[in-house]
Structure 1
Amino acid sequence: MAQEPVNPGEVVLGEEIKHARLITLNRPRQLNVISSKVVYLLSQFLEKWEKDDDAKLVIFKGAGRAFCAGGDLRMFYEGRSDDSCLEVVYRMYWLCYHIHTYKKTMVALVHGIVMGGGGAMVVPLKFSVVTEKTVFAVPEASIGLHTDCSFSYILSRLPGYLGEYLALTGARLNGKEMVATGLATHFVPSEKLQELEKRLLSLDSGDENKVRSVIEEFSAAVQPDEESVLNKLSTINKCFCGDSVEEIIKSFESEAGIEGNAWIAAVLKGLKRSSPTGLKITLRSIREGRKQTLAECLKKEFRLTMNLLRSVISGDVYEGIRALSIDKDNAPKWNPSTLEEVTSDNVDLVFQPFSAELELKIPAEESCRWDGKYENSVYPNLQGKN
């Protein structure tokens, strides 16, 4: 059994139970969204435990009805004028690298919503357990952002053009679909999740075969439902291989009239309501991600996020957050308002490399694996100077 958390009011709880380590994202009323404090504490725990020979197994879970709904949109909106979100952005991308390359066995127990950056704490792990109540999506493009937190790397490696589809449409996948696509490793009915957690904690081992064996005692083989988007991959591949967002939408429209494709209409409606800038940047990022390493993807995504939050070519991200989370009118006024107005030159601007000191610092050598922290970068001195 897990011991009582030392500080139940903290946004991230870290418990040490024999050789197991348990991380609980603990902002249930906010669906465990990611803030600067959340990312800072996660980094602290993970670095400490990776260096601790007594720590063998790390388990992630979320309190309440969500695992993690991604970044704290209100935090970004409130920091729009003074670069106050520099810290969470830098820390999150730096942390993503360490989660992908972590040296200890990690398990995510994913109950409920997992979106955007929340997925970066799930998909890269050796073991990610989902349930019938799990809902996954990467909806950033729809609000003028881009598919971030290593997802240009992850999605570009899915079969065919499914990654482009998920990134551009923000389509949701359930737990069965996550397992089928490889975005999760095991499906466990929700009523068994708590017992699985107890078993993993009592296992007292990080041996991958032993961990897998325990999870498989609780897991069930699953197939996507008949109406699943995964059974429509031939259409998705045909349309989302297009060289531009305009081509993709045109191709998708032509497929919508074919018998059996009634599902396309709602997806098209969502696509057309999304930020034109967000869509174009997202497509290019995913396409580049197909040929990039994890480190290259993270450095690129960091630049994109910084440039979009600084409204280098558009303020759409703040308009999208306003419409979704602040005024909640769901009527964003994009600028530019059409795909045709988003020029290649403007898109090029947000992809340009930063000067060396402003780039995300990802350790090149294992011996300095935890170097490059935010506090040791130039960014703390830049807050409020934009």
Structure 2
Amino acid sequence: MAVNQDEEVVLTEDKGNVRLITLNQPRKLNVISSRVVYLLAENLEKWEKDEDAKLVIIKGAGRAFSAGGDLKMFYDGRTSKDSCLEVVYRFYWLCYHIHTYKKPQVALVHGISMGGGASLMVPMKFSVVTEKTVFATPEASIGFHTDCGFSYILSRLPGHLGEYIALTGARLSGEELVASGLTTHLVPLDKLSALENRLVSLNSGSESAVKAAIEEFSLDVQIGEESVLNKRPIIDECFSKDSVEEILESFEAESRKEGNGWIVPVLKGLKRSSPTGLKITLRSIRDGRKQTLSECLKKEFRLTMNILRTTISGDVYEGIRALTVDKDNSPKWDPPRLGEVDTQKLDLVFGPFEEDSELRVPENDENRWSGKYEESVYAR
């Protein structure tokens, strides 16, 4: 069957020893659907095992890299039990393989790169952003949690920047991403295709050669005085507190001090967010500090399934409804206030599954591509 390039959600090309993968839903900002996850995993496994494949490049078609998970897919499945279990399982399993990939990968990232979309760039050996790149993990605000490996990634940022980014959904620019260490290089948007051609012409998987080629095009990063990265003393002071309530109280006190006007809109956003989403996210990031990548992904799989199953709240569906379905931006949270979120109920979404039902992350390199959804209890 002929592939319609306009309709195939992921395009791949073999160019000598280089493999290119393009997220190809520009009209939908390259959201990640079940088909996207399946094709990404299939190709990455094939290329890692192929001796002729030396370098993998991933990019997004159109004006975005990827806006993240397909929220409509989750919302449409809200009345069917575990309608999204397969795609969730496959994606967390894929996240592990992206973090631990055995060959050099380069992400060429322009435009929006959020949530699950950002998990396809941040773990890469080389993640190249532009002055037009916008990153965020805004999941807590809609009653979800910081997922796709980000409880591992953000918990390892300096100080309490990770809690800040996770709870506020703060947007970071390309410059800020490089300065924070979340990505590796900044290349001007008008040089991105020239860089891609240069990488293809290298026809090599040599990390030093790839790095040198990227550096030919990259700029030194200068972050502005107003950047949130320059607000670290305040962020570390406020976001180190034990609870979301204490964080908000401390942040509010700081907002009243001279020169701290930047806090006011951030605080407003936090107060509009799902109380349950904020509490789950803070705990997940804090736990992430003490967890391995595998432990974080297993935990995030549990959290995602328990949230989608509305184990303690239906906030995720209400958040998606308010943001993308009715677009009234007036979610009715359950419960509506932080103080009403029951800590014991929170334990329910973090609790382990029966061993067979956990995400099966490979234990060693010999069985590196085992644990697929097809081998899980869910497929059986």
Q: Secondary structure at the match of 1:368?
A: coil
* Corresponding residue of 2:34: 36
Aligned runs of 1:1-386 on 2, under 5 Å?
7-8=4-5, 9-82=7-80, 83-381=82-380
Q: Kindly provide the CA deviation profile for residues 48-78 of structure 1, in whole angstroms up to 9, marking residues without a partner as x.
A: 0000000000001000010000100000000
Contact 1:111 1:131 in 2 (8 A): yes
* 1:226, distance to aligned residue in structure 2 (A): 1.3
Q: Kindly provide the CA deviation profile for residues 220-250 of structure 1, in whole angstroms up to 9, marking residues without a partner as x.
A: 0011111100110100001000000000000
Q: Secondary structure at the match of 2:379?
A: helix
Q: Kindly provide the CA deviation profile for residues 306-345 of structure 1, in whole angstroms up to 9, marking residues without a partner as x.
A: 0000000000000000000000000000000000110110
Quick one: distance in 2 between partners of 1:288 and 1:365? 24
Quick one: distance in 2 between partners of 1:249 and 1:169? 11
* 1:7, distance to aligned residue in structure 2 (A): 4.8
Quick one: distance in 1 between partners of 2:58 and 2:223? 25
Quick one: distance in 2 between partners of 1:364 and 1:210? 31
* 1:6, distance to aligned residue in structure 2 (A): 5.9
Quick one: distance in 1 between partners of 2:379 and 2:84? 11
* 1:143, distance to aligned residue in structure 2 (A): 0.2
Shift of the 57–7 alpha-carbon distance from structure 1 to 2, 3 Å rule, reads: farther
Contact 1:7 1:13 in 2 (8 A): no
80-89 or 132-141: which moved more? 80-89
Q: Kindly provide the CA deviation profile for residues 337-372 of structure 1, in whole angstroms up to 9, marking residues without a partner as x.
A: 000110110111100000011000001021110011
* 1:380, distance to aligned residue in structure 2 (A): 2.8
Give TM-score scaled by structure 1 length: 0.97
Quick one: distance in 1 between partners of 2:321 and 2:224? 35
* 1:375, distance to aligned residue in structure 2 (A): 1.4
Quick one: distance in 2 between partners of 1:7 and 1:66? 21
Query: Which residue identity is paired with 2:266?
Result: V
Q: Deviating runs (4+, > 6 A) in structure 1?
A: none
Contact 1:192 1:218 in 2 (8 A): yes
Contact 1:106 1:126 in 2 (8 A): yes
Quick one: distance in 2 between partners of 1:153 and 1:284? 12
Query: Which residue identity is paired with 2:280?
Result: I
Quick one: distance in 2 between partners of 1:167 and 1:343? 21
Quick one: distance in 2 between partners of 1:319 and 1:6? 37
Quick one: distance in 1 between partners of 2:97 and 2:13? 20
Query: Which residue identity is paired with 1:321?
Result: I
Query: Which residue identity is paired with 2:259?
Result: G
List alignment gaps of at least 5 residues for structure 1.
382-386
Quick one: distance in 2 between partners of 1:125 and 1:7? 29
Contact 1:141 1:278 in 2 (8 A): yes
Calculate percent identity across the aligned residue pairs. 71
Query: Which residue identity is paired with 1:90?
Result: Y
Query: Which residue identity is paired with 2:278?
Result: L
Quick one: distance in 2 between partners of 1:314 and 1:44? 35
Quick one: distance in 1 between partners of 2:364 and 2:186? 36
74-83 or 207-216: which moved more? 74-83
Quick one: distance in 1 between partners of 2:79 and 2:296? 27
Quick one: distance in 2 between partners of 1:284 and 1:216? 38
RMSD over aligned Cα atoms: 0.9
Q: Kindly provide the CA deviation profile for residues 80-112 of structure 1, in whole angstroms up to 9, marking residues without a partner as x.
A: 122211111000000000000000100000010
Give TM-score scaled by structure 2 length: 0.98
Contact 1:107 1:129 in 2 (8 A): yes
Quick one: distance in 2 between partners of 1:127 and 1:259? 40
Quick one: distance in 1 between partners of 2:4 and 2:19? 16
Quick one: distance in 1 between partners of 2:198 and 2:370? 35
Count of residues in Structure 1 that have an aligned counterpart in Structure 2: 377
Quick one: distance in 2 between partners of 1:348 and 1:295? 20
Quick one: distance in 1 between partners of 2:160 and 2:293? 19
* Corresponding residue of 1:384: none
Contact 1:115 1:137 in 2 (8 A): yes
Contact 1:13 1:24 in 2 (8 A): yes
* 1:14, distance to aligned residue in structure 2 (A): 1.1
Quick one: distance in 1 between partners of 2:374 and 2:336? 38
